[in-house]
Structure formats: C-alpha cells, structure tokens
Structure 1
Amino acid sequence: MRCSVLILLLFGLAGCFGPVGGTIPVVTTDFRYSNAGGFGTQNAGFLSPGQMFVWDIQNNELEPVTTLQIPLTSKSPATVAGRQSSTGVSGLNITGIPSELSGQEAVIEASIAAQSTYSVVGASRENYSETLTAAAEFIRTMVAAGENPDLVFHPRDDNYRIVIINSVLRARNVNLSVGGIDATDSTRIVEISLNSPIGEVGSLKIRSGANTTCGAEEQSDQYPACFFSVLIRDPHYEPGNPLLQFRVKYSPKERLPEAFRRLR
C-alpha cells in the first residue's frame, strides 16, 4: 500500500508541470547576493572590505553603520589564465511562479540551483583581520563623542547581529551560466529541466532578474571585488563589564542574501 501511494504521488508531481508540448512557464530568478560555494556571496552592490551592518534578524533587514579600517593579512595571486567554477549556488530569489506550479517552489529552486554555475577568471582572494578590534575601537569613538552605541547595536535585544565584510574575491571576469547557457545578462532567457526524486518532470524558462556582470576593464589590472564573505557576531554586555562584547551565536545565514537584496 505504501509503495502504491508513493507511485501515485510521484506521478502527480510529474503532472504538475503540464503536458509535453504545452506552454513552458517563465519565472524570474534574482541571483544578486546569491551564495557560490568556495567564492562567497555575489557582490551585486560592489561592497567593500570592512563595511559593517547591523542585522535585524527578525525582520531580515540590514542597516549600514560604517566602513571599518581593517588590515589586509593575506592575498592570493591571481591566476588569469585559469578558470575556477562553483556549482554550489544557493540563496536565490524566484518570482513569477505560475499558479499551476504552486506548491513546487522547493523543486523549482533546487532545479535552478543545481544547474547554475559561477565561473571566475583571474581570481584573487583577500583576507582581512582585526575586524572585531576595529569594531570595538569604532564603539569607543562613539562613546567619546557622546553617542550611545546601544541605540545602534541593540545589545540587549537578541534580534540583532553585526555583519562585517572581512574577505573578498577579486576577479578579471565572472560568468553565470544556467543549464550551460550564459545567464549573466538580465535580458537572457534560458530553458532548463525540472528534476524531482523520479528524475526530469518538465521544463521551465528562467529570466535572470538582474545583471550579475563583474570584471575588470580591458587592459586594467584593477580587479573589482566580485564576491565577499562576512563575519557575524552578537553584540552584548558581559556582567560587570561596561564594554560592548561580540560573541558567536546562532544567526540565520541562509536569510542574508535576501537581506542584502533589500539594501538601498
């Protein structure tokens, strides 16, 4: 009986994507600030090392605070001739899903993510340190100026974190492909297959919601920061210590791409 029910469910899933030869639905996928395994977060806003934000995790909103002066501790040499790829793409925002695909959001997102690849030429990683030291110094400066850091960092409210960019990946050129077809240009529409536990169950057309182009000008050796990584901490006070501290605590990192997309 259980096997029969499973077979019926799987055939029902396949039927959700319409008959063979029917109109193929088109959805819009926003890859801005998506996460690429090994590269970091796609830097749609060309954010800089040291930029600090206060993150309201309850409302998933980021508030820019300042750009800290943090020292560069390591920089890997760029391999211009080499191409590196990341197929571990996540943190997408998909809109325009038609009613006939309602309830299949997880299948759609997983299918798009599995067929998406970032390729980078001339990658160079920069890591920065003394991030929390710089944050503490910024707070001391606020206090010395008569400002109340509690109004900015909300240390007594567990719904707030600080987010600091502490690593970037610079590149000569970045390409985003979906289903093996260039999708960097926001006007490009790409058709992909939708996959489920029973295999391919239909097709879907993807329109990239925004341009993800990132790279250097011709003949330039100044590479932009195309991806970044962050340090996340919980601001709080320890008993008997009047200085604001930053501790490691649970943070819903999977929601950060959407929070960055909301930045103005």
Structure 2
Amino acid sequence: MKKFFILTVANQMLLGCQSDVIRPSFDYASTSLGVYNSGLLNVGQLFVWDMRENTLTRLDEIPFPDTPTSKTNPTTLVASNISSVGFSAGIDSAVKANASAAIRENVSIQVNSGSREEYRATISLLSNEINRKKAFGEDVDNSWLLRRSAEPDSQLRYILVRGLVTSDKAELVAKNTAGGELALVIPGGKGGNVKVDLSKEALASCTGSRSPCFLSFQVLKPFINENGNYDFEPVRGVPASKIGDLLKTL
C-alpha cells in the first residue's frame, strides 16, 4: 500500500528537482460537515440541475425564516473525509488520485465556534414562494423551468441549500505536521515525488463571526399534485461530493 507522509523542512531539501509542487483548491469541497461554502451561498438558494447535461443553473433565493428550526451550541467541530478537491489543468490523473487520497486520509478542517443550523418545512417554503411569484405575475413556469421539470420523464431536479455550519474561524490541520509546514509528499510520475502544498488555502469563507462555512442540501423532484399545483418529492442518495462538483461549474 502506498504511504503518504508529511513533508518537513529537513526532508524538503532531499526532494531536489525530482519534486513538483501542486496547490489544490478546496472550492466547494465535500466534507463530513457538508460542502465547503467557498461561494458564500445562503440558505434558501435554489438551483435547477439538468441530470442529462450534468449542468447546474442558479435561480432565486427562497425566503427562509430568520431563526433556524434547530441550532446547536457553538463548539469545536472537525470536518474530515475531505473529497472533491480541485486541481489545476494539466496535472496527471494518477497524481490527482494520489493527492486526493492523501488529503482524504491526512487532512481535516478544524472549525472554531462551529454551530449547525437546519431548517425544516422547506417544501412548504418553496411552494409558498412559487405562489407568491405567480400572484405578482412572474412566469416561474418558464423562468424556473417548472413546467418542464414536472413532466414524468424529466431529467431536471432542484437543489436547495437547507442548512449551514457557521463558524468564527476554520483552518486546515494535517496529521503529524512537523517543521511548521503544511504540505504532503505523494508519489509522482516517472519515479519522482510531488509536493502537495496546502499552505495557500486560507479558508477565507470561514473567517468572521458566524460565517456560513459549510452547506447541506436537499434534492427535490417536482410533480403536479392532485390539486393541480406544483409539489416536490425529496430525492435520496445524492452524495454531497456530486453537488460540490456541480457547484464548481457555476
């Protein structure tokens, strides 16, 4: 099994010219606490997902209550199992795979004063906003693709931001860090090594009082109910990493 290890200042010099440096992006990375909110999205943000074309379109923000349905007391939280990390174009696929595995196994995000905020009755909130827009003459049937999405064989789904993890500060933490350098060494191409430099990732979206650091989502399939109105059925089993990858395309 391949071994990944933390790079120290001392062994960095041993790599010499055999080592390349890559700097991953954590934009909309998936974690155990949710998707990292690099775009500073708010609860209630609605998207339409075209599953056939694998595209995401940003729609409106659904008005949510000022107070969440549930909220935990602030505490230290740890986001682990980090995946869906981005890399620059041109990096070898095997190097990407090794770097992703190294990050997943060795890196976490420590969240200070973290609090989970979740909202329920989200389908009612969405339906109320549709009715409000229609009452004001807005053509949401077309602008939100509602008519198309409610067809029985439609490949359109809606993705709604339904919860947050807020924090005052978050920072990357790597196992067995030594020498004050936040970096990993992984096997590279042609027998060399690659340095995965994490020091440039400041997680700025998680800095400041009650910053919206991580997101949770609800995926919905529209249909026409017995009263002839739009209604929504929750879709299970869509991984957060899939949503994170879709958000990267915006």
Deviations 1:1-51 (A, max 9, x none): xxxxxxxxx89xxxxxxxx765112223111111111x1111111111111
Structure 2 CA distance, aligned partners of 1:102 and 1:32?
A: 19
The answer to whether the aligner puts 1:236 opposite 2:231 as a matched pair is no
Matched AA of 1:204: V
TM-score, normalised relative to structure 2:
0.76
SS in 1 for 2:24: strand
Query: Which residue in 2 is equivalent to 1:86?
Result: 79
Q: TM-score, normalised by structure 1?
A: 0.72
Per the alignment, in what secondary structure is the counterpart of residue 203 of structure 2?
Answer: coil
Q: For 1:95, give the aligned amino acid.
A: S
- Work out the percentage of aligned pairs sharing the same amino acid: 22
What is the distance in 2 between the residues matched to 1:42 and 1:64? Answer: 17
AA in 1 matched with 2:214: F
Please list every run of 5 or more consecutive structure 2 residues that lacks an aligned counterpart in the other structure. Answer: 3-14
Paired residue secondary structure (2:23):
strand
* 2:131 partner amino acid: R
Distance 1:97-1:25 versus aligned 2 partners, 3 A rule: farther
Q: CA RMSD in A?
A: 3.1
Aligned to 1:193: 185
**Per-residue deviation at 1:122?**
0.5
Give the residue type in structure 1 aligned to 2:99: I
Q: Answer yes or no: is 1:119 the counterpart of 2:110.
A: yes
**Which residues of 2 match residues 59-208 of structure 1 at below 5 A?**
59-71=53-65, 72-79=68-75, 83-96=76-89, 98=91, 101-103=92-94, 105-151=96-142, 152=144, 153=146, 154-155=148-149, 156=151, 158-178=154-174, 190-194=182-186, 203-207=193-197
Change (3 A) 1:132 1:207: same
Structure 1 residue ranges, 4+ long, deviating more than 6 angstroms after superposition = none
Higher relative contact order (Cα pairs below 8 Å, separated by 6+ residues): 2
Which segments of 5 or more consecutive residues in structure 1 lack a partner in the other structure? 1-9, 12-19, 183-188, 196-200, 217-221
8 Å contact kept, 1:190–1:205: no
Letter in 2 for 1:248: P
- Relative distance call for 1:158 and 1:202 in structure 2 (3 A) is farther
